[in-house]
Chains A and B, each alone.
Chain A
C-alpha cells in the first residue's frame, strides 16, 4: 500500500488515464458516427454501398488493432504523409484516434445491426405504408429503436474501446497508461506488482460504472412489446 502511494506521488498516473479516456471519448464519437453510416449503408437498397460496408466491416473485424495502429504510424503518416498537425505528438494522438475509430466502427455497425434485428418487421411496414422514404424510416423509426435494442453490445464495445486505447502505444502515443506503466516498471523493477495493480485497479474502477450504466440503460430503454 505504501509502495502504491509512493508510486502515485512520483508519477502522474491520473494524467495517463485521462489520455486514455480522451482517446476513448473521441474514438467513441467518431466510431459511432461512422458506425451509423455503415449500418445505414448495410440496410440500404443500394447494392454497391451494401457491398462496401460489408467489406469494410469484415476487414476491420478481422484485422489486429496493433497492425492498424502501426499502419497509421508507419504507413499513413510516415510514408503517405497523411497528417493532422505539424506537431508530432498531436499528430500521433489523432492518428491513434483515427485507427481506433476505424476499428471500433466495424463493431459499432455490428452492434447496431443486431439491434435492428430486434425491431419488428411491422414497424418498417408501418413506416412504408405512411409513405416514409428510406432515410425517413431508417432515421425516424428503425434506428432509434435499434439503438435501444443494442445498448448492451454497444456498452461492451465501449468497454473494449477503453481497453483498446492502450494499444495507442503502438502509434507512438507516449503519454497513455501502458507506456507509463512500462516506464514505471523500468525504474521501479522491485515494485512491479504494485505498479501493475495501480493500473489494473484503475481500469476496473473505470469499467465498473460503464458496465452498470449499460445494464441500467438496457433495462430502462428496452422497448416493451
Chain B
C-alpha cells in the first residue's frame, strides 16, 4: 500500500473524544437515529436483523462456493492446497523470515520518521521565516508524492550508487521515513499548537529562547500527546512495507508469493498473509484507540489523534480545517471536555484571527479583546488580525511591528 494511507488513516481517526468520552460518543452515535423502539418497531428491527443476517451469510456462502467451485480448475478449499500454505516449513522458510523483514523495515522506518518528524515539526514552528518555509516545503512535498514513486526512485538510485544487496531495503525504509516523517511533523506541529499558551509563556519567563522552549517544554508534551497517533502511523508503516514487494524487497507479501509459486497455491498463501497482516495491524489499531485515556494525565496537551490538514502548501487556513474537522458539539450541552477547549462550540468565522486562534488556550472569538491579543507566530498574527503593515513592506514579508523580536 500504499502509500498514502496515512492520509486516510488520519481522517479515519477522527474521534477525538477518547477514554471517558468514548463510551458516551458511541452511545450517542447509536441512539441518534433510533431510541426506545416500541413493540412494532422492535418487531420490524428484528425482521430486518434476520434478513440482514441471512443476506450476509448468503454472501459469505456464495464466496466460499466460488472458492470450492471456480468455473474451471481445482477446488480452492481442498486441504491439498491449504496444507502447504500452513505447514511448518511454510512458516519457517517463508512467513517468519518475511515477517521479520517487514518488521525490520517498519521499526527502522518508524524510528526514522520520528526523528525526521521532530526535526521538521520544530522547523515549522521556529520564528525564523526561512527555516519555516523550507521545512514546510519539504514536509508538504513528502506528503504529496506517492510512497511507491519514492520507493522506485530510491531503489534505482541506491542501486546506481552501488548499494547492492540492500538497495530495496533502504529504499523501503527511506521512503517510509520521508512520508511518515512528514506526517509526524504535522503531528508535532498540531500537538504543540494544542498546548495551552501558558506553557510557552512560562518558558519565556524562565528566560528560554523559542527554540529552547520548543525542545524542552512544548515538543516533549506534544510527543506524549501524539503517541496514539504514532501507533496509528505504525500501522500505516506496516501496511506500506507491502509496497516493497513491488521493488523486490522480500517482505511478507513477496515471501508468500514465493511460497505460492513453489506449491501452485498463491491464493491460499495470500489468504494466510492477509490474516497475518490483519492481526498485527488490528492489535496496533486497538492499542492506539485505547491509549489516549491512559495518557491524558501526563500532558496538558490534547491526547488524541489530530486530523491531518489537507495538503495545501503554505496555506495557513488549512490549520483551521484540521481543527474544524475534529470539532465536536457537546451533544447535550453536557460536561466539559478533558482537554482545553478551543472553540466553545462555535466554528463560525468571526474575526480575522481565526487563522491562528486555535493555537491559543481558551480562545473565544467573541471576546472584545480578541484583536489585541498576541498570538503565535506573533508577527503573522498581528498583520492578519489587525491589518498592520510596516511602512516599506513590499512583498508581503511579515515582520514584527517593532522590528526587534
Contacts and interface: CB of A to CB of B under 8 A. Distances in A.
A and B touch in the complex (CB under 8 A): yes
A196 B174 CA distance: 15
Given A120-B331, A142-B33, A225-B345, A74 B315 contact: no
Interface string B5-49: 111111111110000000001001110111101000100010011
A211 B50 CA distance: 43
A156 interface: yes
Interface in A159-188: 159-164, 166-167, 169-170, 177-178, 181-182, 185
Contacts of B4: 159-160, 162-164
A71 B307 contact: no
A181 B50 CA distance: 51
A224 B253 contact: no
A157 B71 CA distance: 36
B11 A154 contact: yes
Contact of B310 (A117, A121, A124, A211): A211
Contacts of A107: 5, 8-9, 11-12
A117 B6 CA distance: 22
B146 interface: yes
Interface string A85-96: 000000000000
B87 interface: no
B144 interface: yes
A160 B311 contact: no
Interface of A: 43-49, 52, 58-59, 61-67, 70-71, 74-75, 79-82, 104, 106-107, 110-111, 113-114, 116-121, 124, 127-128, 134, 137-138, 142, 149-157, 159-164, 166-167, 169-170, 177-178, 181-182, 185, 189, 192-193, 195-196, 199-200, 203-204, 207-208, 210-212, 214-215, 218-219, 222, 224-225
Contacts of B5: 65, 107, 160, 164
Interface in B229-253: 235, 238-243, 245-246, 253
Given A58-B282, A207-B311, A208-B312, A64 B240 contact: yes
Contacts of B37: 45
B34 A45 contact: yes
B204 interface: no
B76 A200 contact: no
B285 A167 contact: no
B91 interface: no
Given A164-B1, A203-B146, A219 B320 contact: yes
**Interchain residue pairs A-B with the least CB separation, the first 4:** A153-B11, A65-B1, A163-B4, A114-B14
Contacts of B157: 192-193
B7 A47 contact: no
Contact of B145 (A59, A66, A203): A203
B144 A204 contact: yes
Nearest to A138: B33
Contacts of B215: none
A110 B160 CA distance: 42
B93 interface: no
A167 B5 CA distance: 11
B52 A46 contact: yes
A111 B315 contact: no
A61 B321 contact: no
A64 B71 contact: no
A225 B347 CA distance: 7
B76 A80 contact: yes
B20 to A, nearest CB: 16
B165 to A, nearest CB: 19
Given A156-B308, A211-B310, A163 B156 contact: no
A120 B345 CA distance: 11
A166 B66 CA distance: 29
Interface string B210-244: 00000000000000000000000001001111110
Contacts of A64: 1-2, 238-243, 253, 277
B316 to A, nearest CB: 10
B11 A63 contact: no
Interface string B257-287: 1001000001100110110011001100100
A200 to B, nearest CB: 5
Interface in B312-347: 312-313, 315, 317-318, 320-322, 324-329, 331-332, 345-347
